[in-house]
Amino acid sequence: MKESALQIAHRSYAPKMPSALRGSVCLKEGERTESVADQAAIKELFPNTYGLPVIEIVTDDCCCERKREQCCCEKEREREHCCCESEKEQCQCENGQAARNVGVILSGGQAPGGHNVISGLYDGLKRMNKDSKLYGFLGGPSGLIEGKYKELTGEIIDQYRNTGGFDIIGSGRTKLEETWQFDKGIEVCKQLGITAIVIIGGDDSNTNACVLAEYYLQKQCGIQVIGCPKTIDGDLKNKMIETSFGFDTACKVYSELIGNIQRDANSAKKYWHFIRLMGRSASHIALECALQTQPNICIVSEEVEAKQMTLGEIVEEIAQVVAQRAAKGLNFGTVLVPEGLIEFIPAMRALIQELNDLLADGKEFDVNGLSAGAKQLYESLPEAIAKQLTMDRDPHGNVQVSLIETEKLLIEMVGKRLAEMKAAGQYTGKFATQHHFFGYEGRCAVPSNFDADYCYSLGQTASELIAGGKTGYMATVRNLTRPAEEWIAGGVPITMMMNMERRNGKMKPVIQKALVDMKGKPYQYLVAHREEWALSTDTYIFPGPIQYYGPTEVCDQPTCTLKLEHA
């Protein structure tokens, strides 16, 4: 296969890591934890994995009593001291780890850096014992239950270091939630001698990882389960998880494209560009791209919901900005539209819910099955959009928002509103438009240095949690706005992030999804600046492409969201 120059050069990029992960390590346990809400219910559902302590991975000076007690080699246990440098080098603690067979699964949508999680995991396992093996389950969680796998050898891993995509083993959206699936998993793991599984996924996949960990503990089958926080959407974050991997790269790719469009708009001065950005539910991607590029308008779904806005009100706000710019002779601009918007407009959400019920279990769609209000709204939508709303749901029962062309809907409605305003003498400009949807352009991009480093560290962290016998944990790396050497690696019990939510009509334990925080600094920054951005021509920012080689202030910066949140 022919490779690009960057691909060849980048293979030898050595990801930066927290210094604590470099040598011999010790797992330092914190206080016992509680779930974010619904403690009694979560505790009852997860009797074995509830309340576990948070873990921090620290450098082991190799001389503490505990380490010597845990040390697996006899010779080492007999030692009085092994704390001097030369002793540390000879120390058998790491090399004395038993060989392990571990399975890894990529779950859900692609996110840049997944290959580095796997290479970090592989290197971590091999460093502990060169006879350890890593098996990749093919095509996502279904690979585990169908017994479809491949052994990931050093040769394979080397081809994928620092590359984008999930193609090393593929991904999928099969839900792991039924007992028969868990039992099938045990069977397959036993055949391969696998004693730990790493699930790289978003909130739903990590919830399922926890359910699996709990089940395997109950069954005492000797299989640990560790999760890793993935999703470009950026909505898997909380007190312990600063960001999910892939968000950084995806936002940088989209911001480059938005910046390029803004330069074009500012040059030709003839188009309004409506740009829809991926992010199934939360608006983190749209918000981050707005912070990076300063567009004229950025819609935030969470704000729409908080203000209970109607579609008509959103359209009115856009039309007013278009008219104000036109009055200044500026018949061009940029509008960022979050992919999930449609579900945050109260009336649309109600319609979608009715449609979900109507379409459940593959039923034929009949518009007369809708309530009077929902039917009226459905029939008022442009035909194409109405059709898109009735398309197949994903395996989690969600409407596939990436298939709904909200940007076109807004263009059509804003156009109509401007025509009315023109007739009433309130607008004299021109409204020529272009529409864009950025999603797939960024999901498999070559990971930014931030994501390459973060992901490799997550993989190494997962290997340490496995070696420490942990299960029901998510690998974490924190302190991410500091240089990588100062990052803090560890593990957080997945139950700590859970609450009870209604899903498909039933209360279920799930990891709380992080929507844009209206009181948070990133959103507040947008609010403080958006009026200025709406009417100006010289506030656009043009970030340019991701840089991999060069000064650290160009190549290693985290997202604006992360910087503002941790300022």
- Binding residues for ligand FBP, rule: CB under 6 A, are 108-109, 111, 202, 231-233, 278-280, 339, 400-402, 443
Q: How far is the CB of 120 from ligand FBP (least distance, A)?
A: 19
Nearer to ligand FBP among residue 254 and residue 473 (C-beta): 254
- Asked if 254 and 285 count as a contact pair (C-beta separation under 8 A), the reply is yes
Residues listed for the chain: 567
Q: How far is the CB of 441 from ligand FBP (least distance, A)?
A: 11
Q: Which residues are the active-site residues?
A: 233
Nearer to ligand FBP among residue 108 and residue 493 (C-beta): 108
Residue 172 backbone phi and psi in degrees, to 5: -165, 170
Q: How far is the CB of 399 from ligand FBP (least distance, A)?
A: 10
Structure tokens given for 57? 């991975």
**How far is the first Cα of the chain from the last one, in angstroms, to the nearest whole number?**
44
Q: How far is the CB of 246 from ligand FBP (least distance, A)?
A: 7
Q: Could you tell me how far CA 154 lies from the centroid of its own chain?
A: 27
Q: How far is the CB of 213 from ligand FBP (least distance, A)?
A: 20
Nearer to ligand FBP among residue 120 and residue 439 (C-beta): 439
How many beta carbons lie within 10 A of that of residue 147, not counting itself? 15
Residue 65 burial by CB count (10 A; 0-12/13-18/19+): exposed, middle or buried? exposed
What CA–CA distance (Å, rounded) separates 441 from 420? 36
Instruction: Give just the sign of the alpha carbon dihedral 38, 40, 46, 51.
Output: positive
Nearer to ligand FBP among residue 254 and residue 427 (C-beta): 254
Q: How far is residue 34 from each of residues 45, 208, 224, 227, 241, measured CA to CA in Å?
A: 13, 19, 21, 18, 16
Q: How far is the CB of 402 from ligand FBP (least distance, A)?
A: 4
Residue 429 burial by CB count (10 A; 0-12/13-18/19+): exposed, middle or buried? buried
Structure tokens given for 135? 């098996």
Q: How far is residue 201 from each of residues 23, 49, 114, 474, measured CA to CA in Å?
A: 28, 19, 10, 10
Nearer to ligand FBP among residue 97 and residue 292 (C-beta): 292
Q: How far is the CB of 247 from ligand FBP (least distance, A)?
A: 10
What CA–CA distance (Å, rounded) separates 526 from 558? 18
Q: HEC profile for 215-235?
A: HHHHCCCCCEEEEEEECCCCC
Nearer to ligand FBP among residue 393 and residue 521 (C-beta): 393
Strand order in the sheet with 473-478: 25-32, 53-59, 488-493, 473-478, 224-229, 194-201, 101-106, 133-137, 149-151
Nearer to ligand FBP among residue 20 and residue 290 (C-beta): 290
